[in-house]
């Protein structure tokens, strides 16, 4: 399984997700009515959720997800699934990221 991002539990991490169309051209997502980013265990249990205005911001063609130390502090070292969806002002839903994120256990407390 390819890993999109790797981080340590309890660290701050900024994920910048560039949104492009099928030709690779940037897509303006700054007017999206909703954006949701979530991390799941492999059994489907959701462990983190971020939404537009609450950990997610958009600017032109980039969705930025801010992971705070408390978001991942209790996660054991493992590979998790993650997904980002956005909803346009026309109520169209797009999954713009689906993959995996590896969280390494931080041993410093």
CATH number for the domain harbouring residue 36: 2.60.40.10
- Give residue-wise pLDDT tens across range 55-91: 999 999 999 999 999 999 999 889 999 999 999 889 9
Q: Which range of residues forms the domain containing residue 31? A: 5-104
- Banded pLDDT at 6 (limits 50, 70, 90): very high
- Arithmetic mean of pLDDT, 92-101: 94
Residue 99 included in any domain: yes
Does pLDDT of 107 surpass 80? no
Sheet holding 13-18: strands in order across? Answer: 5-8, 93-104, 78-87, 34-40, 46-52, 55-59, 62-67, 13-18
Instruction: Give the span between the Cα atoms of 109 and 44, in whole angstroms.
Output: 29
How much is the pLDDT for 93?
94
Q: Return the percentage of the chain with pLDDT > 90, whole number.
A: 83
109 inside domain = no
In a domain, 61, yes or no: yes
Q: Is 68 contained in some domain?
A: yes
Tell me if 74 is assigned to some domain. yes
Q: How many domains does the chain have?
A: 1
- Give the confidence band of 1 by pLDDT, cuts at 50, 70, 90: low
Q: Is residue 37 part of a domain?
A: yes
- What local confidence, expressed as pLDDT, does residue 3 receive? 81
């Amino acid at each position: 399984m390819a890993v999109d991002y790797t981080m340590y539990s309890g660290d701050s991490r900024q994920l910048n997700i560039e949104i492009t169309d099928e030709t690779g051209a940037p897509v303006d997502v700054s007017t999206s009515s909703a954006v949701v980013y979530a991390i799941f265990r492999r059994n489907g249990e959701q462990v983190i959720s971020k939404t537009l205005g609450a950990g997610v911001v958009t600017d032109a063609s980039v969705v930025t997800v801010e992971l705070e130390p408390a978001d991942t502090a209790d996660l054991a070292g493992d590979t998790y699934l993650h997904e980002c969806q956005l909803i346009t002002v026309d109520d169209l839903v797009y999954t713009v990221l689906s993959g995996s994120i590896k969280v390494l256990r931080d041993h410093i407390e």
